[in-house]
Chain A
Amino acid sequence: MSETTASSAATGATIELENLTKRYPGNPQPAVDGVSMEIGAGETVVFVGPSGCGKSTTLKMINRLIEPTGGRIRIGGEDVTRIDPVKLRRKVGYAIQSSGLFPHMTVAQNIALVPQLNGWPKSRIRSRVEEMLDLVGLDPGEFRGRYPRQLSGGQQQRVGVARALAADPPVLLMDEPFGAVDPITRDHLQDELIRLQHELHKTIVFVTHDFDEAIKLGDRIAVLRERSHIAQFDTPEAILTNPADDFVSGFVGAGAALKRLNLTRVRDVGISDWPTVTVDDPLQHVLDRLRASGGNEILLVDKQGRPYKWLRRGDLMRAKGSLARAGTPVHYTVSRDATLRDALEAVLTDNAGRVAVTGRRGRYEGVVDMETLMNSVHELLEADRLDALEHQHDTEEAGSARAHSGQEGPDGSGGEAEKA
């Protein structure tokens, strides 16, 4: 079933913003001043910036909740600046802070809204609602008939995303969707969104003021300063290692190297093998393995293959040969999808500087230790630096080319915006 939905699902469309401007009457300064940007199909772009910088206004101009005063919007190559806004919005999913669910409708009715407006047949809507609830990790049987106030904040937000995606729009706009939930739930929702995007490949434009959220979610990040001027529009890696100016580095904040750890997952770095024995192994075998391993520690895994205890030389002797009493229980494990930051945290917390990596159903897969982490971080930073240098070189070339063409004659709309 997942295959058929994947093939029928609309994947992302490109978004092009051209000199998008918003002026409010009575205010000489535009609220958004000539934003131009190209967003690739299936890309997640995060707008990040201080409050009041116009990031939300820019987002709302994409589905024309706020009508731009100047400029052009193209979605999937089609100019949507002048088409019926209602028609435009049916093609663009929209999720907002504190979910925006209609309290007088059940979860199912909320999700069914846009498909209904699009005139889908009833049976298709019903199956779509189930599919969407499944997609966002809520059990349809349990949640279909509930009202929004009977849900937790995180669940409401999931339903909000399900509603935004119900009619399968190629583009999804998210306006600080996780701003009003607690940090733990927010973390979960972010992970969910990454997983969703992995399946769906929509074009997502996401607004936040939380730079860490931007790093975690964005393929590219647009750091905006006042009036939505783009301070830097680049990959998270490039922004972290090579911020364009003081404004951006101020926004990135301290600890860029630490934040960089968020961008790499444990599965991307080498995990080392570690000698293991299972709880069912005879004692003699355990002792042999300990001796043969060369190290002074082996990992004891339980019957399901999950890390259970660390056994050191001497532990068994002290416990008088009882496997049940010997060794120290494994407190921390990280999954292969955990970020290097999580892994570092676990390694630092662990008293012996290593942590077991687990795969599906918590099964043991390997171990990362301090040394592996250090080496990978050095490699990553070095690679980033090289990339950044190369990139800088490219943009300098492009920049000088643009300046050149700019002198030759500004195009009509650009000149007009400057005069007004």
Chain B
Amino acid sequence: MNFWEFVGSRHQQLLTDAYQHASAVFQCMVVATVLGVLIGVATYRSEWAGNLATVTTSTVLTIPSLAMIGLLIPVVGLGVPPTVTALTLYGLLPVVRNAIVGLRGVDPALVDAARGIGMSRASRLLRVELPLAWPPILTGIRVSTQMLMGIAAIAAYASGPGLGNEIFRGIASLGSRNALNQVLAGTLGIIVLALLFDAAYVLLGRLTIPRGIRV
């Protein structure tokens, strides 16, 4: 059985895995974005708090993903919980860092102007600072998503959802007839998903970054 025949015969299973993979990454990314931007907003004004947030999140990133999931199993159990926790934690760093850099990069003269014309703290943040910091934040989200695509594959180790299951099953049965096909299908599926997500982000950028600050 060659690769295409394999994909043809298993497409039901592959599509389900791909859908679960994408859905897990997407949902974790939403949570990571919300958390990351909130952390950024809470910390960017203070030198040490901002640095603390960046250092903490990058420390998380240095933990090998297999170890992280392994360590989470005794705490949150098997299946979806360790996957979601790990993915969200890994997704935080690029978002937090870019949110802080982006918010700090807003021209102080503009913030001053915003204060000067009588905008409250909240409206300054929502209408001036966040929109201006949005392009770097979006870049952070893109980087995070690419990263999570790969990391999500490891989740299968903890019986999590996604294309990682194909890869792990293939590796477990190395030497058997469809082992290589399974690994290949899982890997290629992840690559295709990553490209699709990236295209979606380009479109999102087009739609959400105002023409006045598009480069």
Interface string of A82-93 (1 = CB under 8 A from B): 000011111111
Find A104's partner among B113, B119, B212 (CB 8 Å cutoff): B212
A117 lies within 8 A of chain B by Cβ? yes
Q: Tell me the complex Cα distance, A93–B114, Å.
A: 11
Is there an interface contact between B212 and A114, defined as CB atoms closer than 8 Å?
Answer: no
Q: Does A98 contact B (CB under 8 A)?
A: yes
C-alpha spacing A173/B118, complex, angstroms = 13
**Considering the chains assembled together, what is the distance between the CA atoms of A113 and B113 in angstroms?**
12
- Whether B210 lies near A100 (C-beta < 8 A) is no
Contact yes or no, A114 B213, CB < 8 A: no
**Interface bin, chain B:** 20 to 34
Interface class of chain A by DSSP = mixed
**Residue contact A89 to B118, C-beta cutoff 8 Å:** yes
Q: How far is the CA of A88 from the CA of B117 in the complex (A)?
A: 9
Measured between C-beta atoms, what is the minimum distance from A170 to chain B in Å?
A: 14
Check B41 for interface membership: any CB of A closer than 8 A: no
Chain A neighbourhood of B113, CB < 8 A: 94, 96, 100-102
Evaluate contact between B116 and A94: CB separation under 8 angstroms.
yes
- Interface residues contributed by chain A, number (CB under 8 Å): 30
Q: Which of B115, B117, B211 contacts A147 (CB 8 A)?
A: B211
- Binary CB contact string for chain B from 112 to 150 against chain A (1 if under 8 A, 0 otherwise): 111111111001000110011000000000000000000
Give complex CA distance A330, B29 in Å: 73
Query: Contact between B212 and A89 (Cβ–Cβ < 8 Å)?
Result: no
Quick check: A104 and B210 within 8 Å, CB to CB?
A: yes
Q: How far is the CB of B109 from chain A (nearest CB, A)?
A: 6
Contacts of B110 in A (CB 8 A): 100, 102-103
* Complex Cα gap A105–B211 (Å): 9
Tell me how far the C-beta of A248 lies from the nearest C-beta in chain B, rounded to whole angstroms.
Answer: 30
Question: Measured between alpha carbons, how far is A229 from B119 in the docked complex, in Å?
Answer: 31
Task: Check if A147 sits within 8 Å of B109, measured CB to CB.
Answer: no
When C-beta atoms are compared, the residue in chain A nearest to B135 turns out to be A104
CB A287 to nearest CB in B, in angstroms, measures 65
CB proximity of B63 to chain A, nearest CB, Å: 37
Contacts A104-B131, A104-B212, A147-B211: A96 and B118 contacting too (C-beta < 8 A)? no
Cα–Cα distance between A94 and B127 once the two chains are bound (Å): 18
Whether B213 contacts A104 by the Cβ 8 Å rule is yes
Question: Is A313 interfacial (CB 8 A cutoff)?
Answer: no
Report the bound CA distance from A117 to B120 in whole Å.
9
Give 1 or 0 for each of B175-215: 1 = CB within 8 Å of chain A CB.
00000000000000000000000000000000000111100
**Selected A-B contacts with CB under 8 Å, 20 pairs:** A65-B112, A65-B115, A65-B116, A86-B119, A88-B118, A89-B117, A92-B118, A93-B117, A98-B109, A102-B110, A103-B110, A104-B131, A104-B212, A106-B212, A114-B117, A114-B118, A117-B117, A117-B118, A148-B212, A164-B117
- A residues neighboring B (CB under 8 Å): 63, 65, 86-94, 96-98, 100-106, 113-114, 117, 147-149, 163-164, 173
Q: For the A-B complex with A89-B116, A89-B118, A100-B113 known, give 15 more contacts whose Cβ atoms are closer than 8 Å.
A: A63-B116, A92-B118, A94-B116, A96-B109, A96-B112, A100-B116, A101-B113, A104-B213, A105-B212, A114-B117, A114-B118, A147-B211, A147-B212, A148-B212, A149-B212
Top 9 A-B pairs, shortest CB-CB distance: A100-B113, A147-B212, A89-B118, A94-B116, A90-B118, A104-B210, A104-B213, A104-B131, A103-B212
